[in-house]
Chains A and B, each alone.
Chain A
């Protein structure tokens, strides 16, 4: 018999969960529900954030079409995650170092990646990984969770240099099950490295619901074992995401170590455009349920009521975005044909003798 008075496990679990209540500032009706926490954003910043979110949705919509036309390779739709991705991004600085997951192109482009490079990466072109010199970040990680241990490393480096920079990195609900996730968060904690970890909980790791990933009632509480703050935030609410991310960055910058943020969000569309069918694993009602929480909708209402936005201008803006996006597509269409010899040449700083033989062989075949 367990002596419940001495070992009240249920009460223990309950007490853990009380520390991870979801933070919301702007609700789905576009109303401020927590005025104490409203972040200090100027009208211009608010409008710019909304424009960024609209741009991201426009890129997403265009990519869906391109993917269906067979004009993209891998594409992971981002619709629904605009607040999670772009309001979090807004809290960081150009000098902060970004380690994205594979769905995090919007942040990368905001951080300085020309959009056509994102298309080239999707299509599988060498130039898709050749980033501009000053861009503080790496290309999206394909191995789920591998960026988490690396983020600890970049953060430790910054700390050693005494740099006034932080690292920010993203993974998903599935990513928080990986061993590397726990190792990376724990390392960053042990070294007090300035890292902000985002788990974008978009409900499904491809088809597996996050509730099947873990017995934990939130993913944010995974921070507790590493001894670092873990915050759960409404990932459809740009004000809450921004406010928490901003506070986390300051915490890290002040030398307190890392923070883990779970943004509770939704991917409206398939995992990728390569045959994933969400109808197999999602309840019919959940689509409408989540689209009612659309971050664009609540932000539009909020800005309109503040007199900062006119819905009539939106259509032209999106047309303009799409025009720019198509120009970037055109740029990626013009990328040169790739050569095998080129791949062999970049295996090492200097090709080895055996590689030199292979380079010569392929160069002859390629006719130069």
Chain B
């Protein structure tokens, strides 16, 4: 088994997908010869040819529409949107077209598109390159939204997304691309969509999070452990649909819940989790304290010199956990 970064695991997954599924196509801006601005598709055009891995004109809506059309022609498209902040340009192709096609056709047509895109803050990028827009995607019925937090999951979830016959928005946190390596099998495997994972077991409080915030939460949990607070950390992995059962089981055990997201507070994934726990008997009766929420504030993603002040981190998570633990 090789030690791979998340970006290498993604490239490896795409390689496996192109090899196994003849009808897969990878396309987007600079994904061909250049291998993508993050090198996610490095070497794939050389290995599989320009017929299957190719550059498109610079137009996100066109890329989204191309994917829909190719899916009508029975391909399994894997388009890349270079940065997810450019998703607005292709919102109709995503939310107005691919998400609705199965429904519009009365369940008679598949739309097996996996749209990959880098997102997330903390990498000192220009405006519109760092936003966490997964909440917008999660509100669209008909889409699945997947966000891996580590190389192993990134590969398995990406291959599961590509196998899925419904559209998947696959969001890759830029800060995780090269931050660490772990063992990733070379061979093809999948990690199921819609299933959260308990990444750290604990007894006093549950943190539910996803993406880069999994790592800030684990950092917080380690520090809290030193103070005698045992925290369970759940990595959602798929943020739409949410694996409510895994959260319920954990909350029934710990009785306390903090939800952590990098996105702004308004609407969003954290709100959905809080509502799911509050309106379910199993959730509300298990809770011994109000649910805590850690998020970014409701401003536009900040100017890059200030992003560390703005984004949630382990320290803010620790403060919120203590607040919820000490509630009586």
Query: Are A126's CB and B70's CB within 8 A?
Result: no
Q: Is B222 part of the contact surface with A, judged by Cβ < 8 Å? A: no
Determine the distance from Cα of A99 to Cα of B56 in the docked complex, in whole angstroms: 22
Minimum CB–CB distance from B75 to chain A (whole Å) comes to 5
Say whether B297 faces chain A, with CB atoms less than 8 Å apart: no
Output the least CB separation between A20 and chain B (Å): 24
- Whether B96 pairs with A157 at a CB distance below 8 angstroms is no
Choose from A146, A179, A190 the contact partner of B97 (Cβ within 8 Å): A146
CB within 8 Å for A184 and B65 given contacts A129-B106, A154-B70, A347-B103? yes
| A residues near B194, Cβ cutoff 8 Å | 352-353
Contacts of B108 in A (CB 8 A): 129-131
**Residue A97, interface by CB 8 Å:** yes
A11 at the interface (CB under 8 A from B): no
A183 at the interface (CB under 8 A from B): yes
Q: Which residues of A contact B105 (CB under 8 A)?
A: 129-131, 138-139
In chain B, residues 56-104, which have Cβ atoms closer than 8 Å to a Cβ of chain A? Answer: 56-57, 59, 61-62, 64-75, 77, 92-93, 96-97, 102-104
- Using C-beta atoms within 8 Å of the partner chain, give the interface range for chain B: 35 or more
With A and B bound together, what is the CA distance between A160 and B51 in angstroms? 7
Instruction: Say whether, besides A139-B104, A183-B59, A347-B103, A152 and B241 are in contact (CB < 8 Å).
Output: no
- Residue A7 at the chain B interface, CB threshold 8 Å: no
Interface residues of A in 56-73 (CB under 8 A from B): none
Q: Is A245 part of the binding interface, using a Cβ–Cβ cutoff of 8 Å? A: no
Q: A343 contacts which of B51, B70, B103 (Cβ < 8 Å)?
A: B103
Whose C-beta in chain A lies nearest to the C-beta of B90? Answer: A149
Interface residues of A in 174-196 (CB under 8 A from B): 179-180, 183-184, 186-187, 190
Main secondary structure of the interface of A (DSSP, over half): helix
Known: A143-B97, A179-B61. A150 touches B72 (CB 8 A): yes
Considering only CB atoms, which chain A residue lies closest to B245 in the complex?
A353
Which residues of the other chain, B, contact A184 by a CB distance below 8 angstroms? 62, 65
Q: Which of A190-222 contact B (CB under 8 A)?
A: 190
Given contacts A346-B102, A353-B194, contact A157 B62 (CB under 8 A): no
Across chains A and B, the number of contacting residue pairs, with CB separation under 8 Å, is 131
Proximity string of chain A (327-355) to chain B, C-beta cutoff 8 Å, 1 when within and 0 when not: 00000000000000001011111001111
Determine whether A233 belongs to the interface, using a CB cutoff of 8 Å to chain B. no
- A186–B66 Cα distance when bound, in Å, is 12
**Shortest Cβ gap from A349 to chain B (Å):** 5
B-facing mask of A98-142, CB < 8 A → 1, else 0?
010000000000000000000000000011111100000011000
Interface members, chain B 105-144 (any A CB < 8 Å):
105-108, 110, 141-142, 144
B244 at the interface (CB under 8 A from A): yes
- In the complex, whether A151 has a CB less than 8 A from a CB of chain B is yes
Query: Are B72 and A138 interface neighbours, CB within 8 A?
Result: yes
Shortest CB–CB separation between residue B130 and chain A, in angstroms?
25
Most central of A99, A153, A156, A346 by chain B CB within 10 Å? A153
Question: Does residue B190 face the partner (Cβ distance < 8 Å to A)?
Answer: no
The answer to whether the Cβ of B34 comes within 8 Å of any Cβ in the partner chain is no
CA distance A347 to B67 in the complex (A): 19
Min Cβ gap A146→B in Å is 6
Most A-side CB within 10 Å, residue of B66, B67, B104, B105? B66
Closest to B74 in A: A157
Say yes or no for A243: interface residue by CB 8 A criterion. Answer: no
Point out the residues of chain B lying under 8 angstroms from A270, CB to CB: none
User: Which of B68, B142, B241, B245 meets A153, CB within 8 Å?
Assistant: B68
**A296: CB under 8 A from chain B?**
no
Indicate if A155 sits at the interface (CB-CB under 8 A).
Answer: yes
Residues in chain A near residue B92, CB distance under 8 A: 143, 146, 180
B3 within 8 A of A: no
Q: A180-B92, A353-B241 are in contact. Are A186 and B59 (CB under 8 A)?
A: yes
- B15 interfacial contact with A, CB 8 Å: no
Alpha-carbon gap, A1 to B152, bound state (A) = 66
* A271 CB → nearest B CB, Å: 21
Q: Kindly state the separation between the CA atoms of A156 and B176 in the bound complex, as whole angstroms.
A: 34
A273 at the interface (CB under 8 A from B): no
Bound: A352/B103 CA distance, A: 15
Given contacts A154-B72, A346-B102, A355-B241, contact A180 B142 (CB under 8 A): no
Please determine whether B69 and A157 come into contact, CB atoms closer than 8 angstroms.
yes
CA distance A156 to B69 in the complex (A): 8
- Separation of A131 and B144 alpha carbons in the complex (Å): 25
B154 within 8 A of A: no
In whole Å, how far is A153's beta carbon from the nearest beta carbon of chain B? 2
**Do A347 and B141 have beta carbons less than 8 Å apart?**
yes
A-side contacts of B110, CB under 8 Å: 349
Is A154 a contact partner of B65 (Cβ separation < 8 A)? no
Q: A348 near B166 (CB under 8 angstroms)?
A: yes
Q: Are B73 and A158 in contact, CB atoms less than 8 angstroms apart?
A: yes
Interface mask (B159-191 → A, CB under 8 Å = 1, otherwise 0): 000001110000000000000000000000000
Further 6 A-B residue pairs, CB within 8 A, beyond A153-B77, A186-B62: A149-B61, A156-B70, A160-B25, A187-B59, A345-B107, A347-B103
Query: 25 A-B contacts, Cβ less than 8 Å apart?
Result: A129-B108, A139-B105, A143-B96, A146-B65, A146-B96, A146-B97, A149-B64, A150-B68, A150-B97, A153-B71, A153-B73, A157-B74, A158-B73, A160-B25, A160-B51, A160-B75, A183-B65, A184-B65, A186-B59, A187-B57, A187-B59, A347-B103, A349-B164, A352-B241, A353-B194
Residues of B within 8 A of A (CB): 25, 51, 56-57, 59, 61-62, 64-75, 77, 92-93, 96-97, 102-108, 110, 141-142, 144, 164-166, 194, 241-245
3 pairs of A and B residues whose beta carbons are closest in the complex: A153-B69, A149-B65, A157-B73
Seen from chain A, the residues whose Cβ lies within 8 Å of a Cβ on chain B are 97, 99, 126-131, 138-139, 143, 146, 148-158, 160-161, 179-180, 183-184, 186-187, 190, 343, 345-349, 352-355
